[in-house]
Amino acid sequence: MMSQKELYNSEGYLSGIDILNRAEVADHRRQLERAEQQIGSMHYLAKVHTILSSAAKLVSHPRILDVVEQLIGPDLLIYNATYIIKEANAKSHVSWHQDLTYWGLDSDDQVSVWLALSDASENSGCMRMIPGSHQLGQQHHILGEQDENNVLFQSQRVADIDESKAVAAPLKSGQASFHHGWLLHASSPNTSTDRRIGLNIQYIAPHVRQTKIPGYTALLARGVDRYRHYENDLAATSDLEPVAMQKRDEFERLHRDIAGRA
C-alpha cells in the first residue's frame, strides 16, 4: 500500500482526509457566516486568516500541517488562505487550470489544501482532478475569454482536456483534499440547496520566492524560516479588527495584482 507521500507524488493529490468533526465544522461555519453578516461575502478574499480567528485556527490545524509536512518538508509557510463559496443553485464554476500558472512562485514546493465546511458533492460542484497531470508541468492557458461565472480572475482555462480522465473528489464536511500546484483541476456549478463552502489554504516551503512582487507576506506555520523572503503576516486573534482589515485590503490589491496578470 502506498504512503500518502507516494500517492501524492503519483496522482498529484490526496482526498477525503478527515480534519474536523461535525461540531467543529458547525462552529467554524457559524463564525464565517457571522462575519459575512457584518462585512458581506467573504468569497475569494485573500488572507482571511489575518482578519478572522476561526480561519487562523484552521490554517494552523495540526492535522493539516502533519499531512503538508509529509509532502514538502518540516518548514512551512502559510502563503494565502481564502474562502471559496458557491451559493446554492449558483452558476459559478472553475475552469480547468493549474494553480501555479500565474502566482509568480519560483518553485513548486507548494501544496493547495481545500477544507470543506459543507459537503462538497458532485451535485454541489466538488473539485474534479486529472490524476497524474502534475507530472506534465505547466500547460498553456487561454486568456481573454471573460466569463462572469468563472471564479478565476482572468477566466483562464486549459483547452482540450480529456474529460474521460477526470476524477471527482467529493468531500464530506470536515474533510480536506491536498493537491499539487501543477495538477489540472476544475469544478462545476453548485446545483444543490446548500452553500458549498471551502477554505482554500496555500502552503509553501520557506525557500520559495515570490518573483512578481518582492516583499510579499506569509506566516510561519511550522518549523523554521531560514530564508526570510517574506514580511510577516499576523494571525487574527479576534475578528474583523479595523487595523487588520485595513492591512488585508492592501493584501487583496497585491494578491490580485499577482494572480490577475501573466
pTM above 0.85, yes or no: yes
If DSSP codes are grouped into helix, strand and coil, which group holds residue 258?
helix
Task: Tell me what pLDDT residue 261 has.
Answer: 52
Cβ atoms of 141 and 214 closer than 8 Å:
no
Query: Three-state DSSP class for 26?
Result: helix
Decide: 110 and 182 in contact? Cβ < 8 Å.
Answer: no
pLDDT in tens, 232-250: 999 999 999 999 999 999 9
Within 8 A by CB and 6+ apart from 81, the residues are 47, 48, 49, 55, 58, 59, 199, 200, 201, 202
Match 501573466 to its residue by C-alpha cell. Answer: 262
Residues 112-161 have pLDDT tens digits of: 999 999 999 999 999 999 999 999 988 988 877 778 877 776 778 888 89
DSSP 3-state of 165: helix
Confidence (pLDDT) at 262: 44
pLDDT value at residue 12: 98
**C-alpha cell of residue 140:** 498553456
Q: What's the confidence (pLDDT) of residue 33?
A: 98
- Contacts (Cβ under 8 Å, ≥6 apart) of 53: 31, 236, 237, 238, 239
Total domains in the fold of the chain? 1
Q: Which of 248, 218, 239, 200 is nearest to 64 (CA)?
A: 200
Q: Any idea what the CATH number is for the domain that residue 149 is in? A: 2.60.120.620
- pLDDT tens, the chain, 262 aa long: 889 999 999 999 999 999 999 999 999 999 999 999 999 999 999 999 999 999 999 999 999 999 999 999 999 999 999 999 999 999 988 889 999 988 999 999 999 999 999 999 999 999 999 999 999 988 988 877 778 877 776 778 888 899 999 999 999 999 999 999 999 999 999 999 999 999 999 999 999 999 998 879 999 999 999 999 999 999 999 999 999 999 999 999 998 888 865 4
Helix axes 4-11, 62-72, angle to 10 degrees: 60
Q: Can you tell me the distance from the alpha carbon of 213 to that of 46, in angstroms, rounded to the nearest whole number?
A: 15
Residue 67's nearest CA partner among 14, 103, 107 is 14
C-alpha cell at 52: 478572522
Q: How far is CA 217 from the centre of its chain?
A: 16
Q: What is the model's pLDDT at position 260?
A: 67
Separation in Å, CA 204 to CA 81, 91, 114, 137: 12, 31, 15, 18
- The domain in which residue 94 lies consists of 4-259
For residue 163, the number of C-alpha atoms closer than 13 Å in the C-beta half-sphere is: 5
- The confidence score (pLDDT) of residue 236 equals 98
